[in-house]
Amino acid sequence: MIEQLKQEALRRGDRLQVVSIGRLSALKHEIDFFINTADLNSFQKWIVGNLYKFELPSVDFSIQSIIMVAIPHPAYAKVGFIRNGKAYNLMSNIMSDFERSENYLLDFLTPMNHHIVAAPNLPLKRLAVHSGLAAYGRNNITYVDGLGSFLSYAAYFSDVPCNDSEWTEVRLSERCTHCDICLNKCPTNAIRKDTFLIDNERCLSYLNENPGEWPEWLPLSAHHCVYDCLKCQIVCPMNRGFASNIVESIKFSEEETDILLSGRGFDTYSDVLKHKTSVLGINNWLAAIPRNLSILFELIDDHKEIHL
């Protein structure tokens, strides 16, 4: 059954592992230990203390396992904006198609009278590594064999039986042992040599997904993406062959660009604009997008190079 499920995911281009629900308490203990012993910054404390949840949901089936799915997406999308008649070509992250993956899981499991319910607040990267699905890179990104790191995880509580499951110790990929390419490429010095726990309060993705003033120490040359940051993944040797998978062009009209710059709410968007921003994931960070676009437009107006 589990093997069939893995094959179905593979056939769809994803990768999948199933973990026994008995592993959940070990994972919680590990995170509790981590909270008490690691030197965490306030964002890391918020993640482990507030974002992660280990309680089982109330459902009308007996939860026996956690299904982890790694869902790839292109490395990035080239995106075009128009402001005051001038075209601006930028880069944006792009989302995995979670709905497609959930639909094939349901199509596979429902006829067998099995069920799933989303488990979005588990520590997904750590669970992926423990499950044997992934390994950590020095940049705190996880890498899956055959997919690289341009992916997102979906986790589900399920009643698929799983008495025992792989439980790999959390570790740094062997590929990182003699490599520091990402460390040297990081524009904010967020990556550390001695641990794969980065200083995520310095990470550009933390800074540009939150609205507000840029910190004074952040160089303007760091900005290159509508949100998030691609630099440590693009240069990583473990992404060779995956970094060139790019969506060529998603264009925003001048009117759509103005709407994004205005900070208007998502519910006021046209269906076309809703679709484009959702595909790119821009809709998740709308409060920060006007500032991010403004700085990128300004860099281009000042003839500064924006590159990965």
Residues at the contact surface with ligand SF4, assessed by CB under 6 A: 137-139, 173, 175-176, 179-182, 186-188, 190-191, 198, 203-205, 229, 231-232, 235-238
**Please, what is the minimum distance in Å from the beta carbon of residue 37 to ligand SF4?**
23
| 93-103 core/surface letters (b: 16 or more CB in 10 A; e: else) | bbbbbeeebbe
- For ligand SF4, which is the closer residue by CB, 101 or 239? 239
- For ligand SF4, which is the closer residue by CB, 85 or 219? 219
DSSP strand pairing (76-83 vs 246-251)? parallel
Sheet holding 65-72, edge to edge: 15-20, 65-72, 151-158, 116-118
* Of 259, 291, 287, the residue nearest 274 (C-alpha): 259
**Please, what is the minimum distance in Å from the beta carbon of residue 79 to ligand SF4?**
18
- For ligand SF4, which is the closer residue by CB, 83 or 138? 138
* Of 160, 159, 25, 5, the residue nearest 69 (C-alpha): 5
- For ligand SF4, which is the closer residue by CB, 23 or 202? 202
Residue nearest ligand SF4 by beta-carbon distance:
137
226 Cβ contact partners less than 8 Å away, ≥ 6 residues apart:
79, 90, 91, 92, 93, 280, 282, 289, 292, 293, 296
**How many CA atoms lie less than 13 Å away from 252 in the CB half-sphere?**
34
**Please, what is the minimum distance in Å from the beta carbon of residue 16 to ligand SF4?**
23
**Please, what is the minimum distance in Å from the beta carbon of residue 107 to ligand SF4?**
35
**Please, what is the minimum distance in Å from the beta carbon of residue 225 to ligand SF4?**
9
115: how many CB neighbours lie within 10 A of its CB?
18
- For ligand SF4, which is the closer residue by CB, 44 or 101? 44
- For ligand SF4, which is the closer residue by CB, 82 or 235? 235
> Which tokens go with 220?
């303007």
- For ligand SF4, which is the closer residue by CB, 221 or 262? 221
- For ligand SF4, which is the closer residue by CB, 49 or 237? 237
| 125-148 core/surface letters (b: 16 or more CB in 10 A; e: else) | bbbbbbbebbbbbbbbbbbbeebb
188 Cα distance to chain centroid: 19
CA distance 130 to 112: 27
- For ligand SF4, which is the closer residue by CB, 154 or 230? 230
**Please, what is the minimum distance in Å from the beta carbon of residue 239 to ligand SF4?**
7
**Please, what is the minimum distance in Å from the beta carbon of residue 178 to ligand SF4?**
9
Show the DSSP H helices in 81-190 as ranges: 98-109, 124-130, 181-185
DSSP strand pairing (151-158 vs 142-144)? unpaired
**Please, what is the minimum distance in Å from the beta carbon of residue 207 to ligand SF4?**
8
- With H, G, I as helix, E, B as strand and everything else as coil, classify residue 156: strand
**Please, what is the minimum distance in Å from the beta carbon of residue 9 to ligand SF4?**
24
| 89 DSSP β-pair partners | 80
